[in-house]
Structure 1
Amino acid sequence: MQTTLIQGKNMVKFESKTFQLGEKLTQEQKEYFRKYGVIQFKNFINAETIQTFISELDKIEKQWLADGIEKINGIPLKFGKDEHGNKMIQRMCFTNKYSTFLGEFLKDPRLQLLVELLAPYDGRISDNEKDGLVFNHYVNAPNSKFTQMGWHTDSPRDLFLGQKILPMLNVGVHLDNCPSTNGGLRVLPGTQNQSVLKLLFGKKQFIDHTPDEKEVGFEIEAGDLTVHDGRLWHRVEVSPNFGEKSRRRVMYVPIITGKYMPKNENSKTPFYHRFAKVVQK
C-alpha cells in the first residue's frame, strides 16, 4: 500500500512496510523511521508472553479496584465499564512498578536499541518518569469512557511542565489483533518534521476526531510493536464493532530525553490532566 501525503509544497509518498527487530537496528529501519516518524515491528513478543502480560495486568487492575486507587504517582487512572457493565480501569499507569514481570520487560535489550532512533539525542526508557508503562484498554461498550483518542501530538505536555519541546518516542506493545478495519492507531506520516506552530495548532489537540484523508492505519497483530515520534500527529480511531470484538489492549512506554524527572507517591497531578473530562483522552 502506498499513500501520498501533501505537506506544504512537498509530496511525501508513504510506503507501508513492516520489519523484524533483531540484535540491532538496520540502516533501512533508521531511515524509514527518520522519514515517516513511525515504524512497525512484527512478532516482538510471542503468544505466551502476551498471556502473561494480560494476566499480570488483570491482577493489578483487580487490586487497584479493590483498594479504591484513583491515582498512581499523581497520574489519574481512567475508569469505565465493560460490555457487561462491570467497572474497569481503561488507562493504567506505572504498571511496571506493580509487577516484577512487567518491570523486567522494560529491560529487554531490544527496547534499548530503540533509543538510537532519537539520535543525536541521548534517550532513556521512562520506567520511573512521565506515566511509566501505561496500559490502554479500549472497548466499545455503552458505558465505556475510552473508545477512541482525538488527534494530538505528545509535545504540549512538555510546555505544561515548563520545559522546551524535546524529542521522544512512544513505544506500543499490542496485545490483541487489530486490523485497520477495527479502528486503532492512525498517523500522519512525516509530520514529526513540522514547524512548532503546526505541531501545536495544526489540529485541535484531543478534541478533533475527524478522519484525515492523508492519515495511515496499520494492520496490527497481537505481539507487534509500533514506535512513533511524539511530535507526529496521531489519533486512535473508534472500533466499528462492540463488546469483545472491539477490544484493543496496548501497553505504551515512552523513550525520552532531557532532565531526569522521576515520580513517586508524593508527585503532584500535572496541570493538563484537568482537561481530561473535556477531551476524554
Structure 2
Amino acid sequence: MIMKKWDSNFYLGDTLTQDQLRFFEKHGVIVFRNFLSQEKVQLYISEIKRLETLWLDEGRDKVNGIPLKFGKDEHGNKAIQRLCFTSLHSEPLRELLQDPRLTSLYELLSPYEGRIGENEKDGLVINNYINTPNSTFTQMGWHTDSPRDLFLGQKIMPMLNVGLHLDTCLFENGGLRVIPGTQNQNIIKLLFGKKYFVDNSDDKKEVGFDIYSGDLTVHDGRLWHRVKQSPLMGEASRRRVMYVPIITGKYKPKDEKSKTPFYHKFTSKVHH
C-alpha cells in the first residue's frame, strides 16, 4: 500500500490565518513549522531528563493519579517512557504553556471556549518512543481521544491535542499518522470504526508528515490517529513528543489525591 505524505508550510503567529482555519476545519489536523527554537528544544530535553531522574529516584509511579509508563533504554536501564503533568514540576515547561501563540489555537474550537489543560486530563504529557528490545513504547495503535469523556460519564466535548516535537521524525521513519476528515464522523464510527489501540494496520486513507524538531502539530480529539513504529532501532528511533490538551467544558482539575481512571488499567495492556 502506498502511504501518503502531506507537506506543510504553515507557521503559527499570534493569530490564525483564514487559510489555516479552513485547512483545519476540513482535515482536523495541521502542522506548524519551527514553533520551538533549537535552544528551547535542548532546554526541554534537559528538563525531561531531570524529571525522569528525579521521579525514578523517588520511586514515583504516578502523578495526580495518572500512572507513569516505564520501559528500558538501549543500555537496559529503567526509563520513564510516558510522563504526565510535567509542567507542574518544571518552570521552563510551565512558561512554555504560557506562550501566547498557543492561545491563538483556541479559535479552532470556536464557538466553544478553549483552555490549556495544564492540570486536567493528563496535563503536559511527554511521550518518549524508542525502538529497543526492552522498550514498552514503540508505537501506538489507532485511537481517538474522545471516549475518555464517555468513560468519565461526560458527553464528548470538542478538544485539541497539541504536540510539540523535540526530535525530527521523517515520514518514512514512522510517527504520527491521521485519517483526515474523521473528526466529523458519527458516534458509531467514533467508537467502533477501529479496534482502539489494538489495530496498528495501515489504512489507505491515512496520511503522515515529515516532522522536524521544533514543529508543532494540532489534531482534533475526534480524529482517528496513531503512532507508527519506526523501522530504525536504538537512539536513531527516539521520538520525544510533548502533548498538551486544549479542552472545553467543565473545569476538572486533578491533584495528588485524584483516583486513577479505570481506563488506564485497560490501556496499560495495549500501548506496546
Which residue of 2 is the match for residue 9 of structure 1? none
TM-score calculated relative to the size of structure 1: 0.94
How many pairs were matched up? 271
1:126-158 deviations in Å (ceiling 9; x for gaps): 001000000000000000000000000011100
- How many Å separate the matches in 2 of 1:202 and 1:232? 11
SS, match of residue 231 in structure 2: coil
Structure 1's 119 and 254: CA in aligned 2 closer, same or farther, altered over 3 A? Answer: same
Q: Is the 8 A contact 2:70 2:78 kept in 1?
A: yes
Q: 2:114 aligns with which of 114, 123, 136?
A: 123
- How many Å separate the matches in 2 of 1:90 and 1:54? 13
Q: Is the 8 A contact 1:125 1:254 kept in 2?
A: yes
- How many Å separate the matches in 2 of 1:120 and 1:146? 36
Which residue of 2 is the match for residue 71 of structure 1? 62
Cα offset, 1:16, TM superposition: 4.0
Residue 32 of structure 2 is aligned to residue 61 of structure 1: no
- How many Å separate the matches in 2 of 1:226 and 1:164? 25
Residue 230 of structure 2 is aligned to residue 242 of structure 1: no
- How many Å separate the matches in 2 of 1:16 and 1:92? 29
Q: 1:272 aligns with which of 243, 263, 266?
A: 263
* Superposition RMSD in Å: 1.4
Which residue of 1 is the match for residue 92 of structure 2? 101
Q: Is the 8 A contact 2:7 2:210 kept in 1?
A: no
- How many Å separate the matches in 2 of 1:117 and 1:143? 39
Q: 2:74 aligns with which of 61, 77, 83?
A: 83
1:185-226 deviations in Å (ceiling 9; x for gaps): 000000000001001100001110011111101101000000
SS, match of residue 104 in structure 1: helix
Cα offset, 1:17, TM superposition: 2.9
- How many Å separate the matches in 2 of 1:236 and 1:17? 19
* Paired residue type of 1:62: T
TM-score calculated relative to the size of structure 2: 0.97
Structure 1's 15 and 86: CA in aligned 2 closer, same or farther, altered over 3 A? Answer: closer
Instruction: Give percent identity, aligned residues only.
Output: 66
Which residue of 1 is the match for residue 224 of structure 2? 233
- The list of structure 1 runs, each at least 4 consecutive aligned residues, that deviate by more than 4 angstroms after superposition, is none
Q: 1:178 aligns with which of 154, 159, 169?
A: 169
- How many Å separate the matches in 2 of 1:238 and 1:178? 11
- For residues 1-281 of structure 1, the aligned pairs below 5 Å read 16-280=7-271
Q: Is the 8 A contact 2:8 2:32 kept in 1?
A: no
For CA contacts below 8 A with separation 6 or more, give which structure has more relative contact order. 2
Q: Is the 8 A contact 1:18 1:39 kept in 2?
A: no
- How many Å separate the matches in 2 of 1:49 and 1:187? 27
- How many Å separate the matches in 1 of 2:9 and 2:218? 11
SS, match of residue 213 in structure 1: coil
1:156-200 deviations in Å (ceiling 9; x for gaps): 100001100011000000000100111100000000000010011
Q: Is the 8 A contact 2:130 2:138 kept in 1?
A: yes
- How many Å separate the matches in 2 of 1:219 and 1:176? 11
- How many Å separate the matches in 2 of 1:239 and 1:277? 20
Q: Is the 8 A contact 1:185 1:235 kept in 2?
A: yes
